Amino acid sequence: MNATAETKPTTDSTEKARTESLISPRFYTTDYDAMDRLDLSPVRTEWDELMREFETDANTDHFQRTDEFAGVIENMPEALRKEFIDFLISSCTSEYSGCVLYANIARKVKNPDIKKVMRYMARDESRHANFINQSLKDFDLGIDLGFLTKAKKYTFFKPKYIFYATYLSEKIGYARYITIYRQLERNPQYRFHPIFKWFKDWCNDEFRHGEVFALIMKADPSLTRGLNRLWIRFFLLAVFATMYVRDHTRPEMHAALGLDPKEYDYTVFRITSEISKQIFPLTLDIDSPAFHAGLERLRAIGEATAKAKAEGGVFNRVKRAGLAVMGVATFARLYLLPTVGNELPDKVRTAPAW
Ligand SMILES: [Fe+2]
Ligand SMILES: [Fe+2]
């Protein structure tokens, strides 16, 4: 679905959130009948335990704003503000993307287990998205989430791709938020916006969402065997590479947090890889020099592409096509690097211990 004359975006942020690019958050739709057929009986005990956690709803009152938020964005240096707003827009879009996906699945399936868990997760993601959006609204840059639901393009993903991609995005979301939270706990002088104080309890929600998909995958061992290993490898690399390229477009924000983007990203990769051993039969060799070099090359290609796009013109269009080919080739080379095998544990559930 695309924007029509009657449904114009109301703010620049809404337009930014709607626009598609290789590294911007997307909206997804899936095969709801296949979701209906999921059978969780092989993981029943762990599943019921997890549902009790969702029922407890420890974060009911967590996402309440305080007076500390007033005037903070207004008083930021221009370059930092630009990147921070960009970060808020992209985070809000990706939280809301989860909300829309989970809410649609909850609405369309009959399977009581899936319906229930999707409702819980949509509840959490809607809180997250709205909490970020309030900070954007302070600056009159709120995203029109209702408009976005109608105007954003939806990408169809078979359930198994939803499981791999969403599992990873929930776990990497946890790893990103907890790494920032710990950095600011040690160095409070870098906390340039109060929203970071909320990250700890917030990321426990994301961790729990990841557990849902870990159990769904555990219930059907074929999802982590055979040729599906190749898909897992693909999604690991796609998620890591996207994050690496995107984070390097925000040097001011990372400097303000006292973080080096490269170091920060590798910390997040390490935590995510460690967690993913609960269900993925392999991890990427993130310490190999070839992996580091490949990501750096993707970053350089990403930067050159953004520059060519900003300059415009026929020559730059040709240049961008060339860069796209180089990007695909670099990604393919990274994909073919050796991975590290992992024996799956009997018990899937793991705790947010970082
Ligand atoms: Fe979230
Ligand atoms: Fe989540």
pLDDT digits (tens, 9 = 90+) for 29-78: 999 999 999 999 999 999 999 999 999 999 988 999 999 998 899 899 99
pLDDT of residue 26: 83
Q: What is the residue extent of each domain of the chain?
A: 12-282, 285-342
Q: Where are the beta strands (DSSP E) in the chain?
A: 27-29, 154-156, 282-284, 339-341
- Predicted TM-score (pTM) of this structure: 0.92
Class of domain 12-282: mainly alpha
In one-letter notation, the amino acid at residue 235 is F
Q: Residue 80 C-alpha to ligand 1 middle, in angstroms?
A: 24
Q: Which residues surround ligand 1, an ion (CB under 5 A)?
A: 95, 125, 128
In one-letter notation, the amino acid at residue 7 is T
Q: How many CB atoms lie within 10 A of CB 29?
A: 15
Q: How far apart are CA 47 and CA 110, in angstroms?
A: 18
Which residue in 95, 83, 267, 90 sits closest to 193, CA to CA? 83
Q: How many CA atoms lie within 13 A of 178 on its CB side?
A: 21
Q: Residue 200 C-alpha to ligand 2 middle, in angstroms?
A: 13
Burial per residue of 211-230, b for 16 or more beta-carbon CB atoms within 10 angstroms, e otherwise: bbbbbbbbbbeebbeeebee
Q: How far apart are CA 171 and CA 196, in angstroms?
A: 18
Q: Where are the alpha helices (DSSP H) in 25-158?
A: 32-36, 44-56, 78-108, 112-138, 145-151
Interval 78-131: pLDDT, tens: 999 999 999 999 999 999 999 999 999 999 999 999 999 999 999 999 999 999
Contacts of 48 (CB under 8 A, 6+ apart): none
Q: Residue 195 C-alpha to ligand 1 middle, in angstroms?
A: 14
Q: Residue 152 C-alpha to ligand 1 middle, in angstroms?
A: 19
Q: Residue 298 C-alpha to ligand 1 middle, in angstroms?
A: 27
Tokens found for residue 327: 């990007």
Q: Residue 94 C-alpha to ligand 2 middle, in angstroms?
A: 9
Q: Which residues of the chain have pLDDT under 70?
A: 1-10, 20-23
Q: Residue 168 C-alpha to ligand 1 middle, in angstroms?
A: 13
